[in-house]
Amino acid sequence: MDDVVERVLITKAELDRQVEELGSRISRDYEGEELVIIGVLKGGFIFLADLARKISIPVDLDFISVSSYGDSSKSSGVVKIIKDVDINISGKHVLIVEDIIDTGLTLNHLVELLKTRGPLSVEICAALDKPSRRKAEVQVKYKGIEIPDEFVIGYGLDYAGKYRNIPEVCILKKEIYQK
Ligand code: 5GP
């Protein structure tokens, strides 16, 4: 996939190290509690698959699929639920697992939505963080790797639906999305 990749930004080894650390922290923090982990589709599926196997306590797993209204390359913050969670989260701790926080608008909306369903708590775990582009204030308890303002693909992240299966986080060549 050299034709679309500018360079590797985060190697698989760095991702594995980060995931291991986050998994240990989550296991410690929620020991003895009822935890529901909600993966945000589609981008969060690879990170969640890795993270779930580094969590050593029993957890309920579910998925939610959301899409931003309007231009797909820009987040409007108004999210449409394409697939909702099946689990009742009332009285349980919820951890949302997302691929990347960019503007923060999607997660902000999602947290507010899930809070209306009576959970004990709602926290966020994100594999990647692009803080320079933040538009909405979001509290991210479990933050992965901070990245610069570049459009990245791989490790679950797509460009036009493709490249989610690249094992590393890579910078997409500018000429691909600027043409
Ligand atoms: P936010 O509402 O935080 O701006 O939107 C986050 C979503 O935008 C992510 O879940 C992801 O789907 C998408 N996104 C943000 N930055 C990137 C990026 O660099 N690469 C890709 N492939 N998607 C991104």
Distance 158 CA to ligand 1 centre (A): 9
Which residues approach ligand 1 with their CB closer than 6 A? 43, 75, 98-107, 151-153, 157-159
CATH topology for the 13-150 domain: Rossmann fold (3.40.50)
Distance 107 CA to ligand 1 centre (A): 11
Q: What is the DSSP string of the chain?
A: -TTTEEEEEE-HHHHHHHHHHHHHHHHHHTTTS-EEEEEEETTTHHHHHHHHTT--S--EEEEEEEEESS-TTS--S-EEEEE---S--TTSEEEEEEEEESSSHHHHHHHHHHHTT--SEEEEEEEEE-GGG--S----SEEEEE--S--EEBTTB-BTTB-TT-SSEEEEPHHHHH-
- What was the ipTM of the complex prediction? 0.95
Q: Which residues are catalytic?
A: 102
pLDDT tens per residue across all 179 residues of the chain: 779 999 999 999 999 999 999 999 999 999 999 999 999 999 999 999 999 999 999 999 999 998 865 555 555 667 889 999 999 999 999 999 999 999 999 999 999 999 999 999 999 999 999 999 899 999 999 999 999 999 999 999 999 999 999 999 999 999 998 86
